[in-house]
Structure 1
Amino acid sequence: MLLAFATTVLLIMRLVQSINAGDNGNLFLDLCALVALPTRKIPELSSTTPAAADFQEILKLNATLSDEKWRKKFEKPAEGKDRLKYEQAGATVDEIQKLRWDAWTKVEDDLDKEKDTKATLKKAGIDGYTEHEQKELSGLLQPIAEEAAAAYLQLTTAGAADQKLTADAIKTKLLRAAYGNGVTTLTELTLEKLKANNGNPTSRTLLCGADTPVPTKAKTLAAIIYCICAGDKGDGSGNFKVCANDIPDAESTSANLNNAHTDTAAIISKCPDGPSTELTAGEILTSLATFLGRGTAKTNKVIFGQLTNTDCNGSSQSGLCVVYKTTAKSDTAAVTKAEWRAQLLEAAELIAEQKRRNAEITKLTNGVADLKKQAFNLQPQLQLKKKIQQAFSQLSPKVQPIPIAHKPQQKEECEAIQKAAGCKKNEICKWEGGEAKDGKNCTLNTAAVEQQATKADKNGAAGATASTGCERHGTNKEACLADKKDDKQS
């Protein structure tokens, strides 16, 4: 009789602890929000194409204004042949030329197409400018072109990293969290893929966990939503609805996972549609935190869902749940480093990084666009430069000649000549040695000096420059050589 009483009490306790319809409703909605993430509008990485087009225009203008000697480096060796690739000179590698060579050859290809139209020159408003003016424009363009090259380099060197920040890359992370590898839509979820992406369990208990504790093998959100929401076909013919009343009757049993993928797809199909707004990193983190907050800590385990008896077998009298073991510190990694959780966190991080990168791309793109405007509006700068040069020329004082009479070195120069022929050829010197051919007989011709001084004054008044050194001797080579003696100015 005592045994019968104990049995009755146990049955009553089980009835009281049984799971009710809708008990996992909040978890269902939390999981729906996470599973729906791949279907949300995912932000795109900003394009660098506009900056590339603007930079190409700057390069075309720069090449157009460059001299022929430089441009010959990029000529085709023959009609129909490709332009030459960069080749280093000996052991020296010009890193800048090597880096920019392909861009320069592409520019020449583009310019070949507009030889007859002169489109780039006309766009810059400099068609018909002289060669000298084009050289001046080239000088004005160089700092602009270099700044544009530096900005464009920042855009392009991050190419490999940028590939990880695309909407497709982010969506891949979210799909892996939801379904695992090899599934891009819910319709592609098969039993084989469901098992393979969740540790290949052979029964529902091994997939979802048990009270012992037996930890879940679930690595995807799809597996978790199955464990928490799919009833057992043997429990009321599978019509026990712990998550939502409109979920179809369960087709799988706890003994095996046959039709588990069908039940999973049926459950997810009843999830509410996600917002139409663009997905943010904050939404992912908030949805994840909300779901994790539903976990119930028990001795040596954390339970998501309802566990009233031995295991998460889908029965209303036992459990619709997943179990994470927490017996040892190392066990906690099962939930803190769960595959689905890691993929969600990585997706959130990529969206945040993409936002930072988009701001950088926008800044650099706007910078290159502004530099292009400057490059194609150089005429005012050239005209201003000419006006400044003209103004300085007018303000500069005229160089006044120093009268020859005021140059005491002339006397010494004449006296230093010891050849009669050299002395006689120097118009400011006089040979006092008669018929002698050499000797210290050369003196300063003061009359000639005064005459030259008068002439220099007149020339100075007219803006001429007085001759110095060899220039004043005209074709008198010996006098010039005498001038150079003892390091005199030539």
Structure 2
Amino acid sequence: LCSLVELCKKTPINLPGSSLLDDDVQAIELINMSASTDEWQNQFPTTDKVSTEKSKDCTKQPKPINCHEKYDKWRAKRIELEAATHKEIKQTPAKGMQTTAYGRRIQTQINDIAKEAQAIYDNYKAETAPVLESINDKLRIHFGDALYGKQNRPLSGNPVGKWAATRTHNNDCSGANAGRSLRGDLMCLCAQDDTVTPHMCGDTVTAAGGNWQQATVGGVIEGMASKCAGKAKPDINGVYIRQALADFTAVLKSHTQGTIDAVVLGTPQTDGSCGGQASVACVDYTAAVMPKDQGKHNDIKWYSELTDAAKALDSYLTAVENQRAAKKKIQNLKQEANSLFQTLKVQEPATNTAILQLPRIDPLELKKKCEQFHNNSKECTEKGCKWKGTDETTGTCDVDETKVTSQTNAAGTSDGAAGAPAATGCARHGNDKTACENDKTGDKQNCAWRKGKDGEDDKDTEKCRNGSFLVSKQFTLSMAASSLSLVAI
């Protein structure tokens, strides 16, 4: 019993409580607010000049935003975003990025991350933190009730011993008195009265003398319990407690002496009882070995208290691991949210109108034009084509790829006012319908005065538009190259 007595005397108990704060969760919420659109943010006033009183008509549909249960939380985060310390977070998204399709997708992902982080933390506060915070009080109660007997709480002072000698050794160490407290059972084994002369629990335990009740007064019990200090060095963990309880169970004796069937700790008298005979002492647990409650090992009161203490320690260790896991998950979510948030720094590239208005060059028309001047070197070169022949009258006239490239590059610009972008392509004709209609290359109509088609701007407006489909410089060259290959074949 000494190992259990010493365990229960280990007070105060200072196992670490909960330590996970919601700092990272709030950091994610701040990122979430910054990533949202101005339209959303503007619903939450940041100054006290704007009334924050909730609408009086919250039954109206749709409900005003300030009727939402999370309105105060959102507004607080919006105000926090305005703090000088959060300037970098506020200015991270590039101007207008939150309203783009990409920006909205990123914001949706960050919002989902914020919800997940909050759910993890809420579960931690509801399930894990209470276990961590209550462990020390639980152990003090279980250990105190095991050592002294079940106490009436809250205590008004020191614990009161619930076991006391009231009649005889045999009566006080059996029946309902057996197992009432560790101190009581220890006295039943070790106290010396005028019938027990040997030192039952070692030479350091001095005989009290006198009758049984004189041998078990409070001071003697305190002194007896202190003798366990050098006999056990317990650890506060479930494994130690369960091993000590298993050791206790292993030394219980079940036997028949006289006419009594008994389960005892120690050595009974010849008639099977505990007390009244020299040189023997025991605790009779016969009435307590059978459990009265479902799930209990027995009805020994201090045994049940220590079993519950072991379970509480198991739950505590699980809670410690859950706290560590929750912290790691939230940290990872914060890192993920921040990585997504940083992508909002990247501004959407501006539309290059010059490229969209490049002149439409038909590679087949170029090929057809140059083929007219086969076997005519002078006409071929004058028309901007490339001569390939053995002399001026024998050879082929092909498309000059280098000139196609330079013409395409130059076509995007024209003279204009200093400092202002020049009109390009068919747009250079402005409102001059005649000039637009006369923009041709041979029989090829480069520009036309017409309404827009699918994919063009201002579809219902008549203006000078490209007369053929748009091809990029790279597409023009590749088609021209293909045409040249066909000619070569």
TM-score by length of 1: 0.58
In 2, the alpha carbon distance for the partners of 1:70 and 1:331 equals 59
Pick one of 218, 223, 233 that aligns with 1:266.
223
Match of residue 336 from structure 2: 374
Secondary structure of the corresponding residue to residue 304 of structure 1: strand
Answer yes or no: is the 8 Å Cα contact 1:29–1:271 preserved in 2. Answer: yes
Letter in 2 for 1:291: F
CA contact (8 A) 1:85 1:102 kept: no
**Rounded Cα–Cα distance in structure 2 between residues aligned with 1:290 and 1:170:** 24
Provide the aligned C-alpha RMSD in A: 5.2
The aligned residue for residue 29 of structure 1 is 2
The unaligned stretches of length 5 or more in structure 2 are 362-433, 464-489
Residue equivalent to 2:263 = 302
Report matched runs for 1:60-75 at 5 Å: 60-67=30-37, 69-71=39-41, 74-75=44-45
| Alpha-carbon separation, structure 2, partners of 1:73 and 1:53 | 25
Whether the 8 Å contact between 1:231 and 1:240 is mirrored in structure 2 is yes
Partners of 2:168 and 2:58 lie apart in 1 by 66
Alignment equivalent of 2:16, drawn from 30, 39, 44 = 44
Residue aligning to 1:360: 322
Code of the residue aligned with 1:70 in structure 2: it is W
Q: Aligned pair in 2 of structure 1 residues 451, 108: CA closer, same or farther (>3 Å)?
A: closer
* 1:340 matched residue in structure 2: 302
Equivalent position of 1:443 in the other structure: none
- Gap runs ≥5 in structure 1: 1-27, 402-447, 477-490
Shift in Å, 1:63: 2.3
TM-score (norm 2): 0.58
Q: Give CA deviations for 1:21-58 in whole Å, capped at 9, x if unaligned.
A: xxxxxxx434435434x448664354221xx1111111
Aligned AA (1:157)? N
- Aligned partner of 1:474 in structure 2 is 461
Q: CA deviation at 1:334?
A: 9.2
1:349 is displaced (CA, Å) by 1.8
* 1:103-142 aligned within 5 A: 103-108=73-78, 110-111=80-81, 114=83, 117=84, 119-122=85-88, 124=89, 127=91, 130-133=94-97, 139-142=105-108
The residue correspondences of 1:55-454 to structure 2 (distance < 5 A) are 55-67=25-37, 69-71=39-41, 74-75=44-45, 78=48, 89=59, 100=70, 103-108=73-78, 110-111=80-81, 114=83, 117=84, 119-122=85-88, 124=89, 127=91, 130-133=94-97, 139-162=105-128, 163-165=130-132, 166-171=134-139, 172-179=141-148, 180-181=150-151, 188-190=158-160, 193-195=161-163, 204-209=169-174, 214=175, 216-232=177-193, 234-235=194-195, 240-250=198-208, 253-255=211-213, 259=217, 261-272=218-229, 275=233, 279-299=236-256, 300-309=261-270, 311-313=273-275, 316-317=278-279, 319-325=281-287, 336-378=298-340, 380-382=342-344, 386=348
Distance of 1:201 and 1:93 partners within structure 2: 73
CA contact (8 A) 1:177 1:220 kept: yes
In structure 2, what residue type is equivalent to 1:341?
Y
3-state SS of the aligned residue for 2:266? strand
Partners of 1:46 and 1:308 lie apart in 2 by 53
Deviations 1:176-200 (A, max 9, x none): 2223325999x9244xx424xx9x9
Aligned residues of 2:452 and 2:461 also touching (Cα < 8 A): no
Structure with greater helix percent: 1
Report deviation, 1:208.
1.3
Asked if the contact 1:231/1:315 (under 8 Å) is kept, the reply is no
Aligned mates of 1:257, 1:79 — CA distance in 2? 80
Q: Which has the higher contact order (CA 8 A, sep 6+)?
A: 1
Describe the superposition over 1:328-387 as per-residue Cα deviations: whole angstroms up to 9, x where unpaired. 897999961433222222222222222223222212211211222333344653366858
Q: Distance in 2 between matches of 1:399 and 1:175?
A: 94
> Does the 8 A contact of 2:173 with 2:185 survive in 1?
yes
Q: Is the alpha carbon distance of 1:54 and 1:326 closer, same or farther for their aligned partners in structure 2, counting shifts above 3 Å? A: closer
Shift of the alpha carbon at 1:302? 0.9
Contact 1:30 1:290 in 2 (8 A): no
Matched residue, 1:434: none
Indicate the larger mover: 60-69 or 352-361: 60-69
Q: Secondary structure at the match of 2:96?
A: helix
Residue correspondences, number: 373
In 2: Cα distance, 1:258 partner to 1:235 partner: 13
**Matched-pair identity in %:** 14
